[in-house]
Structure formats: C-alpha cells, structure tokens
Structure 1
C-alpha cells in the first residue's frame, strides 16, 4: 500500500509542494542564510521539493505539474506568511491568491497524461 502511494505522481507532487512551502518559509527564518538551522532546512526542503517534482514529471505534463506546484505552493506560502510571520492579508492579496488557484484548476482540467 505504501509503495503504491509513493509511486503515485500526484502524491509525489503533494510532497514537493509541502517541501517547497517548508523551504520557502524557512528562508525568512534563516535571516539571509545567517542562521544555521533554518538555512539547513531551506536546503533540505528545496532539495526534497525538486526531487519529488522531478519524479512526478515522469507522468504529469510539465505545464500542469508546474502550475499546480507553483500555484498551490504560492497560496500556502502566503498563508504561512500571514499565520506565522503576521504578514498583512487584504482583499488584493486574497483576490490574487484566488486567481492563482483558479488558474491551477483550469490548467489541471485541460491537462492530460504525458506520453
């Protein structure tokens, strides 16, 4: 069961997204790579993200995978910024995030399986 889950390209894409959000969030905590542990977390998070993204691209078309990865990653990273780092959240930011998510949905609906 676990092996089947780990081979699912959308599960790998989800891991890539979560890892990218973690790595991006740690960028702020690293203070420009001046703090060791958050800096290590950035490298690990981004490394796992790109590795899992590359594995998911064996099945998912590049445009679809990248749109999902970057769109959901952007929305989740912005959410972390608001919740963890107390960044401002207003109507413009909410509208932008909704447009990103809508774009991801449209690309996903128009995408197929790579040949």
Structure 2
C-alpha cells in the first residue's frame, strides 16, 4: 500500500487517541526505601527540602513509554510529572508522605493529550505509616 500525504496526516492525528486506548492499569504497589544520602525534592507545598526516604510507586499494566509524546499520568488531578519504565509497567517516586495522603482515595487517570483524560478503575490508597 502506498502511503499518501492525507493518510500520513490522518495517522498522526489519530495517534494520540490510539496511545490512550492502549493503556491498561492493572495494579500498583508502594515501597518505602531509605536513601543512602538526603535528597533535595519538592514537598507537598512546593518548597524544596531534604528527604531521607523515598516511596516508589510501581504501576503494573500496559503504559506505552516509547513514543515521542508519552502518556500523561495523574492521580486525581495531580499530574505525575516524571516516571520510568519497568518490564511490566512504570514507576515513579514520591518523597513527601503528605503527597501520598493528598493522593489517597483518588483514581488513577491517563491521557495522550490534556483534552482526553480517561479514568481507570484503580484507586490510590496511601500506605499506613
């Protein structure tokens, strides 16, 4: 099949929706880790401070991570600004336990663009301290 310019344009326009349609969030886990040295990060109020622990949130499922425009992830309305890929999903770090409390009870959401946010059935529950 010969690709023509209109076909390429239509493919590019449809691509964000295709990425979001391919997302599946199955489960998650939260692991608390001690850092070898204090790490500077933003707290729940947005101020920079030092933390000696990190919470690794691992989300299992299908999350396309190898595209030029990654899938945007949210818990409630809070964006997950940075995440990395694992063999069976993604992970992200949370340094402030208050951020975990703010996420508690909120659904995992995702979008290929900000206008088409979709909600998963997965609800975040903060771990007990």
Q: Same fold (TM over 0.5)?
A: no
Q: Provide the TM-score with structure 2 as the length reference.
A: 0.28
Q: Provide the TM-score with structure 1 as the length reference.
A: 0.30
Greater RCO (Cα-Cα under 8 Å, separation 6 or more):
1
